[in-house]
């Protein structure tokens, strides 16, 4: 039994449903064991942390990310005319440059950034065609050193060479067989329908596991499925048994309304990535269609989920769409709870003690009526002070405790190696 911790004088911020109250949380063995909204009695041998009125939120969840791109910012990249060219000239070159060292460093870098933004769980989608076997272990090792919960999977594709799809499937199955826990899980990943052959989809479908797959991000995905004789991407996935409960479908920009309805009826989650969609100029997904199984991701553009909530709200307004961005944020907690098998996302007894301390805003009172306004326009990653994952403090006053000097030096060195390999690969 670990020593209990009592967080006092907190402004408790609930997201599901949104609400605010003053109180304390008692934590033991990685769980919230008591929520107290009144006078509190300190137990013997209990560590007391006075939050001085700061906000305390459930740790945030990024429902779709790519750690393999975490070392790319700062790299000299070519100007490209559109999404297809970005894949071929940038991302499909970057992923081929990875080895075990750069994979591990990418995961560490991505997790450091996540904690600084108050994100405690990341659903990752990994690709490293030149280093497939054992790559998910490298992701797990990198994440474990920093203390972020991660669900990852190897991106199955046939785009590079014959047999590649089977290699990717074997890596997912190997990692699944190795066992999972509350801090690490595996969700079989697929790149996108247009880079996969029917034989590969059939092999994946035969395994009866949920998948994490890019769907209709660009129009070429839809056009490819139709050229192969399917009504669309959803029909193709469904034909091969991949439209199953718990699967995570990402983007969905060019899905028809009927396809979205079919995915929802099948128990799939749909993840909206507003910043990535704008960056790649692929269009607006109309994410209100994805409710009630809507979640938010960044698609490799960091892990700032408060920023993603704001972007979701602003793009919805731009397109004159009615959408609750906080409910979309909560969707990530629900996906992660299902995948890792632990209750998260609420400041309630029995839920994991993944917690974020945020400086109390100075723009006005924080209460149940003002909360959403603060989440959209007042609070940001710069206000994150402390973070706990499973009751263990992993960020203190903005400093990631697992980001030691030697690890930061290694990340920098591995980034330089990746950049050089990219220049040679172009």
Given a contact cutoff of 8 angstroms between Cβ atoms, the answer to whether 296 and 65 are in contact is no
What tokens appear for 172 in the block?
């997912």
Mean of pLDDT values over 359-365: 90
Predicted local distance difference test score (pLDDT) of residue 75: 86
The answer to whether residue 368 scores a pLDDT higher than 50 is yes
pLDDT band at 2 (very low <50, low <70, confident <90, very high): low
Residue 240 pLDDT greater than 80, yes or no: yes
3-state SS class at 291 = coil
Helix (H) or strand (E) holding 379: none
Tell me what pLDDT residue 364 has: 87
Does the predicted model carry a pTM greater than 0.85?
yes
Does residue 10 sit in helix, strand or coil? strand
CB within 8 Å of 257: residues ≥ 6 apart: 289
Task: Indicate the range of 69-83, 180-194, 324-338, 395-409 predicted with least confidence.
Answer: 69-83
Per residue in 91-105, pLDDT (tens digit) is 999 999 999 999 999
Q: What's the mean pLDDT in 360-383?
A: 93
| Cα 230 to the center of its chain, rounded Å | 30
For residue 201, which of 141, 261, 158, 259 has the smallest C-alpha distance? 158
Cβ–Cβ < 8 Å for 212, 172: no
For residues 304-314, give the mean pLDDT: 97
The arithmetic mean of pLDDT across residues 216-222, rounded, is 97
* DSSP labels, 146-196: HT-EEEE-BEE--SSSTTHHHHHHHHHHHHHHT---SSEEE-EEEEEGGG-
DSSP summary character for residue 89: I
Give the β-pairing of 392-396 and 355-358: unpaired
Residue in this structure with the two tokens 């910043």, named with its chain if needed:
275
Q: Is the pLDDT of residue 208 over 90?
A: no
Mean confidence (pLDDT) of the chain: 95
Residue with tokens 């396809």: 259
Asked whether the predicted pLDDT for residue 3 surpasses 80, the reply is no
Lowest mean pLDDT among 141-145, 296-300, 359-363: 359-363
256-269 average pLDDT score:
98
Question: How, if at all, do strands 18-28 and 60-65 pair?
Answer: unpaired
What is the rounded CA–CA span in Å between residue 248 and residue 286? 17
What's the mean pLDDT in 74-87? 88
pLDDT at 180: 83
Nearest Cα neighbor of 330 from 19, 20, 61 is 61
Cβ contact 78:89 at 8 Å: yes
Mean pLDDT of 411-417: 97
């Amino acid at each position: 039994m670990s020593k209990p911790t009592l967080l006092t004088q907190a402004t408790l911020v609930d997201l599901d449903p949104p609400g605010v109250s003053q109180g304390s949380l008692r934590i033991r063995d990685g769980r919230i064991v008591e929520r107290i909204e009144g006078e509190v009695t300190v137990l013997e041998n209990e560590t007391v942390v006075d939050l001085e009125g700061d906000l305390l939120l459930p740790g945030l969840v990024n429902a779709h990310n790519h750690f393999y791109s975490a070392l790319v910012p700062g790299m000299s990249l070519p100007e490209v005319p559109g999404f297809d060219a970005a894949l071929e000239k940038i991302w499909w070159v970057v992923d081929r440059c990875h080895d075990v060292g750069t994979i591990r460093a990418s995961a560490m870098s991505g997790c450091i950034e996540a904690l600084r933004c108050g994100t405690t769980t990341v659903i990752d989608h990994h690709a490293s065609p030149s280093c497939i076997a054992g790559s998910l272990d490298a992701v797990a090792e990198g994440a474990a050193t920093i203390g972020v919960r991660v669900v990852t999977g190897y991106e199955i594709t046939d785009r590079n060479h014959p047999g590649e799809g089977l290699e990717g499937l074997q890596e997912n199955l190997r990692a699944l067989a190795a066992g999972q826990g509350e801090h690490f899980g595996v969700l079989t990943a697929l790149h996108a329908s247009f880079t996969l052959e029917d034989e590969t989809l059939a092999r994946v479908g035969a395994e009866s596991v949920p998948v994490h797959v890019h769907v209709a991000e660009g129009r070429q995905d839809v056009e490819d499925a139709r050229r192969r004789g399917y009504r669309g991407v959803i029909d193709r996935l469904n034909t091969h048994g991949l439209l199953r409960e718990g699967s995570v479908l990402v983007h969905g920009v060019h899905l028809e309304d009927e396809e979205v309805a079919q995915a929802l009826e099948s128990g799939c989650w749909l993840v909206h990535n507003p910043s990535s969609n704008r960056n790649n100029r692929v269009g607006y997904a109309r994410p209100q269609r994805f409710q009630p199984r809507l979640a938010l991701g960044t698609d490799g553009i960091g892990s700032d989920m408060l920023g993603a909530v704001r972007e979701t709200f602003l793009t919805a307004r731009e397109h004159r769409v009615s959408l609750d961005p906080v409910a979309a944020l909560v969707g990530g907690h629900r996906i992660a709870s299902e995948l890792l098998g632990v209750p998260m996302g609420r400041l309630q007894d029995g839920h994991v003690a993944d917690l974020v301390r945020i400086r109390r805003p100075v723009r006005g009172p924080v209460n149940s009526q003002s909360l959403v306004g603060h989440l959209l326009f007042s609070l940001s990653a710069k206000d994150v002070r402390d973070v706990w994952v499973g009751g263990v403090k992993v960020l203190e006053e903005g400093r990631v405790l697992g980001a030691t000097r030697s690890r930061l030096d290694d990340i920098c060195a591995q980034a330089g190696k990746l950049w050089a390999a990219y220049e040679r690969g172009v």
